[in-house]
Structure 1
């Protein structure tokens, strides 16, 4: 079970995972040799040179234990190199050659197992290292043809020797086929995982390039919008002094919206140059309530309903401003999705687990089809005719915090945006309850 766990642990590091597989294969090889030795000794009463075979088996067992301990070191950062894999296969090839030397040499049906390390080397190693293994296998086989310890009993009983040879060939074929399928299938799975990771990395690189381009455009737009916003603010202030009382409410709303825009622009450069400072320390409840207040200023015509767990979460967190902006973008998407279709409020529900804060934003719009749900957040794509950057930016900001955004379609209609935020990335100062 520990070896299986090692395979899982090292699945993202190919050399470590392959070394763990070699440990497995070595145990299987030792088991096969023990099985064959037991059969020919007890069933057919052949006299084997037990002393040297036992020494080889013990040494190979000790070496495998040391390799397993070395894998424990790989978990602590001691990387496995390709030259180490070559050394492992050379030792396997040499040990098998020594076993065959004491058991009839190249005439032993197990001699074809000499090709197993070569096959593995061709799969795991570079061409020149695999060629060294091939050369070693050829030399070993050639020497075993002329130099070996014969099995006297097999020479004395030709029929028994013929039966044993056929049985050995069958066992060797079966063992080699099973091992090759097992090893190659897992190698193919590792390659598929690597290809998937490379594809994900390419997608992330493309998305990051889009974000950099958006950041550059946003900086330019912020600089250009400063003067028009100041002009609009002056005009709104003048209107507040001249318009009738019946329009004062609308003018005040205009002033609030302009003030919010100016505040957002004035803090943009500060957030970019000091991202750690652009955050608030406090409880989760305080952060969500402040988010709701900002939402009321931005979209006063769209109600927001908060659903709290009992008791309300009081974990102390370092709540970054980028997270606030990401959540506001998601709320805006929800409001836009149901605009003109439903007067129901946007719903924001909080759940708390031992390792994460869970937020669920629900709208009552038309919902998303499978294609839109799959593409959302992976690039500049919009299902409602907009620019499509809101979900992209929100997804990127939440991923930077180790979180995840998923879109689902409830049976009742609309879209539910599920946000998973791990406590450890929110710099939690208190233990979650």
Structure 2
């Protein structure tokens, strides 16, 4: 599954995240609060309310909750439209109660913010705008049209018109601000959640590929000797079948080695060995492995590896982590996608750092997005020119987010810039984007330091 397919799948399923039972529970809490407020106003403060109509409004919510409980299963998850209808019903029911109890003279008028906040947190832009617009219309109508609150003696409880206008202004501003704020924050959290999940998916896929490579190498290593013996014994049997009567030992040897192959395959299928040799690789080998899928895509990839000033001539052997391979692969893919003809990959090292530069001769990063590179889903829509330039590209900034996240997990620091800002003579043709990946050497060095690969026999994988 590609990162784009994952994102589309998440977008389609997100509207089904909210359980009906969650909204039912919230409605029970609202019903309890409404009944308490009516009881206190009637019994403690002796306010003259339209009690029958108020209880009717509350009763409608009770009946709707009971119907939802008995009609739908407990694990029912609402679509976005069903969520919209539920929240709209609660907003209209609250508006009716406020109409019966003084409109904006009622301090509980502030509660119209609750449905707006809920819709902004769990629904899309259009339903949120509809709920917010309905709330503003209700508040505007309630400022003028409502049943007055009366005391036991018949006096009308109302606040001055200037305070009514102030309440209306404050509630409208709160609807706009809290709705926009909740919607933006929820959208950012969902995007980040989707991106992190996609990162885990990509890492899991790369880990499986790495493990598969280890199993294949282990199979070749473990089966090499017995298969060679079988081949030799079979050849001897064929040659000596007519002239040598004593073939029992060779036949037994063939059977013995066949049994050994069977046992090895069974053990590898059950668990396998952790091949210590495959847990490390020379820096250039790992870079070429990461770039290999993009070698034949019509762009030239130029590799340059060498020590930095003061560095040893011996190339470092680094940890062969799936995070490094997949992260570098995404960076190379991005460079190849945008390059006109050439991508340069320069690797350097010294005693303290290992640094990788990826250049291309494309248009470079948009200057206004440089500070946001690495955020997920930056690109929402592709232009026609972009489709022609990158027909195989389907991402929305997710690939760079995955690369940045995975590489930073290994201790790397990433910098994104354009070649025009790099005063290096050899970069005259490298006029596009520049990505610099730098690791402290002790974070990924496979020979020395705390992350060094142990030496000795391969250990069985625990299952």
Structure number having the greater helix percentage = 1
TM-score (norm 1): 0.45
